[in-house]
């Protein structure tokens, strides 16, 4: 006696040609919003830039963007953000490749707090975010994209800079962050903890 097979669950991507766009929204909406908000310093404009990127994504072919969805989205979002900056007369300040190493002010309301306390209170991300705000625009943008998981090649594609320039900007930004006393303390604490675990 034959038994009926269980109904198979259809692949959503086979019934919805834009399913890949929904996957992209889930994966990249928040990173894009963080990136755009830092570029524009305005949540409403940042939301507009992100929405614009996803609307444009709907007009693209998945096959055409195979393996390039992330840098494509960041590039379109960036272009829209630059449009907003241009209207506000802030485009040139943002686009200049500032090669200087920024001087980050030390007092950032972290007094009397140990690295462990900062981590427990989930303040570390906010702390580093405050430091990024003091970097020159080009370094800040490059590190934002680096923190979003983009490679140097992808960041170059997004920003229109050369890959070598991206690597230089990333190095300068990270070097500046490492010079901050609190970051040095955090790195030292993490290194000490790692060494203790290895020796135990």
Where are the extended beta strands (E) located within 15-167?
none
Alpha-carbon distance of 65 to 57, in angstroms, equals 9
Read off φ and ψ for residue 150, nearest 5 degrees. -85, 145
- DSSP state, 111? T
Tell which phi-psi region holds residue 166, choosing left (phi > 0), alpha (psi between -120 and 50) or beta. alpha
pLDDT (0 to 100) of residue 28: 95
Run of H or E residues at 166: helix 163-178
Query: What pLDDT is stored for residue 132 in this prediction?
Result: 84
Question: pLDDT tens digits for the chain (200 residues)?
Answer: 444 444 444 455 445 678 899 999 999 999 999 999 999 989 999 999 999 999 999 999 888 888 899 999 999 999 999 999 988 887 666 666 555 444 444 433 434 444 454 444 445 556 667 788 888 889 999 988 988 889 999 999 999 999 999 999 999 988 888 887 776 776 666 556 555 656 65
Q: What is the DSSP string of 23-63?
A: HHHHHHHHHHHHHHHHHHS-HHHHHHHHHHHHHHHHTS-TT
Distance separating alpha carbons of residues 167 and 155, to the nearest angstrom: 9
CA distances from 151 to 62, 74, 127 (A): 21, 12, 24
Instruction: Locate 82 and state its tokens.
Output: 């630059």
pLDDT at 12: 52
């Amino acid at each position: 006696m034959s038994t009926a097979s269980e109904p198979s669950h259809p692949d959503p991507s086979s019934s919805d040609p834009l399913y890949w766009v929904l996957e992209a929204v889930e994966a990249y909406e928040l990173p894009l919003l963080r990136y755009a908000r830092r570029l524009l310093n305005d949540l409403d404009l940042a939301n507009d830039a992100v929405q614009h990127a996803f609307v444009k994504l709907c007009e693209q072919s998945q096959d055409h963007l195979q393996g390039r969805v992330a840098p494509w989205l960041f590039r379109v979002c960036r272009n829209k953000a630059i449009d907003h900056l241009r209207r506000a007369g802030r485009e040139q300040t943002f686009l200049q490749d500032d090669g200087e190493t920024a001087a980050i002010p030390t007092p950032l309301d972290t007094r009397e707090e140990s690295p462990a306390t900062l981590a427990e209170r989930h303040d570390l991300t906010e702390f580093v975010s405050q430091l990024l705000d003091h970097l020159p625009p080009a370094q800040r943008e490059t590190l934002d994209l680096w923190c979003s998981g983009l490679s140097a090649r992808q960041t170059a594609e997004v920003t229109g800079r050369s890959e070598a320039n991206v690597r230089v900007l990333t190095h300068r930004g990270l070097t500046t962050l490492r010079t901050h006393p609190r970051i040095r303390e955090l790195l030292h604490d993490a290194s000490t903890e790692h060494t203790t675990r290895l020796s135990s």
